[in-house]
Amino acid sequence: MQSFVYFYKNIFPMIKELISDKIVPLKLTDPVRLAVHMMEDNKVSHLPVVDGSSYLGLISESKLYAVGDDSTAIGSLVHELETHCIYESQHCYDALKLVAGFSLSVLPVVNDEKKFLGVVTISDLVRDFADSMSVTSPGTVIVLEIGQRDYSMEELAHIVESNDAKILSSTITSTPDNMKMEVTLKVNRLDAGSILQTLHRYNYTIKASYGENEYDDGLQDRFQALMRYINI
């Protein structure tokens, strides 16, 4: 099952808002042993490599461990660098796709001249994702099953707002046959009974609904577990 995330009110910020300088890039003259220690200290499996202020690429933990002599300079491993990076003007959703697609522990950020600006870490992206999805905001989560041709965010927003509520965030999950989709709404009402009744009148199939205690506490627990895993 493939998932796509859409946001009704909350959106990811631009990547430049999440740039961190807490991970120092490697220089070409740095030895492999230093790179390994830096990875251990920062709990990451990739580090950016620069030549002056120019970004060259990422060196992975596996490439470092494959080197027999830990005094070897990083400069001799330039051919092993991965060139993944993201421009400061790009969206954080682009960063999520890169991190997930290439299993990156850090993502270097560059400007238009490919000058190194800093990195974005997985933990920063996960925290921002949680904020954008209104994880900590009080409310109710409603899960709907909707035919692909019947989906209308405008209609869903109208239904919710007609009951004096707002959609804080939404996600869409497509089914394998692409005939139906699962739409998950987070609304800012703790008592969503009137919203559910209106959805029924509009013939929406309601798969589930979760109050704040049922859903948010569980989601917070899973989020904290993920953050602990990232920081192992």
- pLDDT on residue 232: 43
Instruction: Tell me if residue 122 falls in helix, strand or coil.
Output: helix
CA-nearest of 106, 111, 91 to 48 is: 106
Superfamily of domain 12-129: CBS-domain (3.10.580.10)
pLDDT recorded at residue 131: 65
Residues near 7 by beta carbon (within 8 Å), at least 6 away in sequence: 132, 169, 170
Residue ranges, comma separated, of all CATH 3.10.580.10 domains in the chain are 12-129
Task: Give the per-residue pLDDT at 196.
Answer: 94
Q: Which residue ranges of the chain lie beneath pLDDT 50?
A: 1-11, 215-216, 227, 230-232
State residue 218's pLDDT score: 54
101's enclosing H/E stretch is helix 92-102
What's the distance, CA 68 to chain centroid?
36
Positions of CATH 3.30.70.2040 in the chain: 134-230
Amino acid identity of residue 178, one-letter, is N
CATH architecture of 134-230: 2-Layer Sandwich (3.30)
- Structure tokens, 163: 């009951």
Query: What pLDDT is recorded for position 7?
Result: 42
Beta partners for residue 26, in sequence order: 49
